[in-house]
Amino acid sequence: MSASATATSADGNNAEPPSRKRLIALIGPPNAGKSTLFNRLTGLRQKVANYPGVTVEKKTGVARLTGAEVEVVDLPGVYSLAPRSEDEQISHDVLSGGVEGMRRPDGVVLVLDSTNLSRHLTLAAPVIALGLPTLVVLNMSDELRLRKGEIDVDELSKRVGAPVALASAKTGEGLQPVESFLVGRLGTPPPVQLPVIQDVPACHAWAREAREKAGYHPPAPPEWTRRLDAVFLHPLWGPLVFLAVVLVVFQTMFAWATPLMDGVEQAVTMSGGWIESALPDTWVRSLLVDGVWGGVGSVLVFLPQILILFLFIGLLEDSGYLARAALIADRTMEKVGLQGKSFIPLLSAHACAVPAILATRTIENQRDRMATILIAPFMTCSARLPVYTLVIAAFIPEQPVVGNLLGARSATLLGLYALGFLAAVATAKALKSSVLKSKGTPFMMELPPYRMPTVRALVYRLLDRAKVFLKRAGTVILATTIILWALASYPTTAAGEPPAIEDSIAGTIGRTIEPLVEPLGFNWKIGIGLITSLAAREVIVGTLGTIYGMEGDDEGSLGLQDALRSELDLGGAVALLIFFAFAMQCMSTVAVVRRETGGWTWPILQFCYMTALAYLGAWAANTVLS
């Protein structure tokens, strides 16, 4: 079915079935600006999912253009189509129509960096050889002009046998031919002599000839990239800048986030109060106010902080600094048996372990990749932040530690990040010197030129993250909260009143497991929180919000922080922090590890190991401090 449909459009016969949108694939090497073009074309009409059976992210979107709507699929960044990595395999399969449940694209847009054609043009050979209608986009035309590079687009088009457009997805200039290609008549261009695509030197030589015939003048090397590298990779300044960047990120995450979080909290409290006064006192009101507002609301408060973290990761990545940081970190990673390429997944694991584990696909060495997957959940992900922030705010007084540079609360948070990192490093060392020992594969890392991050790209990142977070708050957290509310509201007393929380089903379960968590300094309410947080870490905050909210009916409303202070002593509070630093309380992570490692063995071992470490660590902290 898909084959015949493709054949129709490839013939240049425009009679496409009106019921179905045309499908265009975007492909290109890493750092060619493919995602920028994708965002430019599809705006907010994007969907992110996974290809069936593999871990590669499938990004699709709809481009609304004059004349028609076109479906666009953004393929992973690859240097070649020789199927060796999963990324290359899936790109190859999509373009040749071999992905189940997905029709072969009607056309291809090959995105290359016009300032980097000396390497990027090589990819044109295998892509054009596929025989699909292809448009070659030479991206970043603004930079090419600025740095005084030159290319004869018409001549290049003749040489490679496909239309070529010089454009800038960033500024939007020259995109007209791209839009015309998307909606216009797709024809197969006259065939040209292409090299044997398995032969890298031959493809390279072919690309060089095409470039030279088209009068390509590579632009002058970006002067300020050289100057910035002289500082960022300087023997002394380099590591200092690295440290400074990390410190600034942490300090501002607290300083900037606080007013925003206060704002969200006020909005949640006010709207909750409004509902409470508007509704009659029934179980519906209790479910809404105590269950949903108390539970989901207390998690929503952390959205600003998580977005600030992603803003920083976005800034570091888009500016090009992240690749330098990986290079500086390589030496340290090597000491624990890993490599600089593990650094980027491990850094992004500070946002969330799930995309981090997906990002390990760039590590060619399977054993290095496995070790990175297994230690990634130790990194302090953003789901831990609500718990950390809450406990720190309740127990750590705000006072300067290093002058005005670092406060006691930020220092504690930094300490927790360090704790997770050390656990990861020690685990990596143990794994790499035993079961996952390997001979090194070459480490290669391309350093993109420094670029000014655009507001547009950052906004897309943040919207993406906010969507994921709100979706979780609206599904997993909402469901857990409602179940918990029900468990805490029944059985009703003889008079038909809601029970005292100790006598409810939740209370009974909690008191049954209390002996298990008592050595850690926790009472049964925290115990319930530990159980619900198995779904996702931040759920504990919602759980405590619900429990205390319902308790508040008798005792007057207590803020979550005050409530915690009355429940835990310092030993218990530190134990709670340490428990969350080590434990693998996240079903999404367990699921993604199972998929990535191809079975249950690794995720089960990992879960038991991390839980044992969490329990022992928390027990030790509570014993020492109490």
Partner 1 sequence: MSLAPSVAPHTLADLKPGQSGLVERLELDEGDARRLMELGFLPGATVQLSRRTPFGDPSVYRIDDADIGLRRETAAKIHLRDQT
Contact 170, 144 (CB under 8 A): no
Q: Which is closer to partner 1, CB of 230 or CB of 624?
A: 230
Q: How far is the CB of 317 from partner 1 (least distance, A)?
A: 16
Rounded to 5 degrees, φ, ψ at 601 are -55, -55
State the DSSP H helix or E strand holding residue 548, giving kind and residue range, or none if neither: helix 539-555
- The yes or no reply on residue 1 touching partner 1 (CB under 8 A) is no
Binding segment for partner 1 (CB under 8 A), chosen from 230-238, 282-290, 498-506, 606-614, is 230-238
> Tokens 């468990």, residue?
487
Is residue 294 helix, strand or coil?
A: helix
Q: Which is closer to partner 1, CB of 345 or CB of 545?
A: 345
Token duo for residue 26: 């975007």
Q: Which is closer to partner 1, CB of 57 or CB of 364?
A: 364
Candidate residues 77, 97, 187, 218; the one interacting with partner 1 per rule CB under 8 A: 218
- The yes or no reply on residue 64 touching partner 1 (CB under 8 A) is no
Angle at 555 between CA 549 and CA 558, to 5 degrees: 50
- CA atoms of 566 and 545, how far apart (whole Å): 14
Q: How far is the CB of 508 from partner 1 (least distance, A)?
A: 58
Q: Which is closer to partner 1, CB of 41 or CB of 323?
A: 323
Token duo for residue 418: 């360090």
From the centroid of its chain, how far is CA 118? 31
Q: How far is the CB of 344 from partner 1 (least distance, A)?
A: 13
Q: Which is closer to partner 1, CB of 29 or CB of 294?
A: 29
Q: Which of 505, 549, 555, 558 is nearest to 528 (CA)?
A: 505
Burial of 319 (0-12, 13-18, 19+ CB in 10 A): middle
Give, in order, the Cα–Cα distances in Å from 129 to each of 10, 26, 167, 193, 465: 14, 16, 23, 10, 37
> Tokens 């990545």, residue?
317
Candidate residues 48, 192, 230, 624; the one interacting with partner 1 per rule CB under 8 A: 230
State the DSSP H helix or E strand holding residue 407, giving kind and residue range, or none if neither: strand 406-407
Strand partners, 108: 25, 134
Q: Which is closer to partner 1, CB of 175 or CB of 328?
A: 328
Q: How far is the CB of 597 from partner 1 (least distance, A)?
A: 22
> Tokens 């302090």, residue?
380
- Where helices occur in 320-383 by DSSP H, the ranges are 321-335, 340-348, 353-359, 366-375
Token duo for residue 493: 């007393």
- CA atoms of 220 and 147, how far apart (whole Å): 6
Candidate residues 101, 201, 397, 598; the one interacting with partner 1 per rule CB under 8 A: 201
Binding segment for partner 1 (CB under 8 A), chosen from 116-124, 311-319, 470-478, 514-522, is 116-124
Q: How far is the CB of 489 from partner 1 (least distance, A)?
A: 59
Q: How far is the CB of 388 from partner 1 (least distance, A)?
A: 31
- The yes or no reply on residue 215 touching partner 1 (CB under 8 A) is no
Candidate residues 229, 464, 503, 518; the one interacting with partner 1 per rule CB under 8 A: 229
- CA atoms of 101 and 23, how far apart (whole Å): 13
- The yes or no reply on residue 93 touching partner 1 (CB under 8 A) is no
Q: Mask: binding to partner 1, 311-350, rule CB under 8 A, as x and -?
A: ------------x---xx-xx--x-----x----------
Q: How far is the CB of 243 from partner 1 (least distance, A)?
A: 12
Binding segment for partner 1 (CB under 8 A), chosen from 115-123, 495-503, 583-591, 615-623, is 115-123
Q: Which of 573, 565, 341, 314 is nearest to 452 (CA)?
A: 314
Binding segment for partner 1 (CB under 8 A), chosen from 110-118, 172-180, 293-301, 617-625, is 110-118
Residues binding partner 1: number (CB under 8 A) = 40
- CA atoms of 36 and 26, how far apart (whole Å): 11
- The yes or no reply on residue 146 touching partner 1 (CB under 8 A) is no
- CA atoms of 372 and 341, how far apart (whole Å): 10
Q: Mask: binding to partner 1, 443-472, rule CB under 8 A, as x and -?
A: xxxxx-------------------------
Q: Mask: binding to partner 1, 403-442, rule CB under 8 A, as x and -?
A: -------------------------------------xxx
Contact 116, 18 (CB under 8 A): no
Strands 406-407 and 400-402: antiparallel
Q: Mask: binding to partner 1, 235-254, rule CB under 8 A, as x and -?
A: xx-xx---------------
Binding segment for partner 1 (CB under 8 A), chosen from 183-191, 234-242, 379-387, 521-529, is 234-242
Contact 573, 391 (CB under 8 A): yes
Candidate residues 39, 116, 382, 427; the one interacting with partner 1 per rule CB under 8 A: 116
If you count them, how many residues does the chain have? 626
Q: Which is closer to partner 1, CB of 290 or CB of 330?
A: 330
Angle at 381 between CA 375 and CA 383, to 5 degrees: 135
Rounded to 5 degrees, φ, ψ at 166 are -95, 120
Q: Which is closer to partner 1, CB of 238 or CB of 386?
A: 238
Q: Which is closer to partner 1, CB of 329 or CB of 584?
A: 329
State the DSSP H helix or E strand holding residue 553, giving kind and residue range, or none if neither: helix 539-555
Candidate residues 115, 380, 533, 622; the one interacting with partner 1 per rule CB under 8 A: 115
Candidate residues 20, 64, 84, 227; the one interacting with partner 1 per rule CB under 8 A: 84
Note the residues at the interface with partner 1 (CB under 8 A).
Answer: 79-80, 82, 84, 115-116, 118-119, 122, 200-201, 204, 218-219, 221, 225, 229-230, 233-236, 238-239, 323, 327-328, 330-331, 334, 340, 364, 440-447
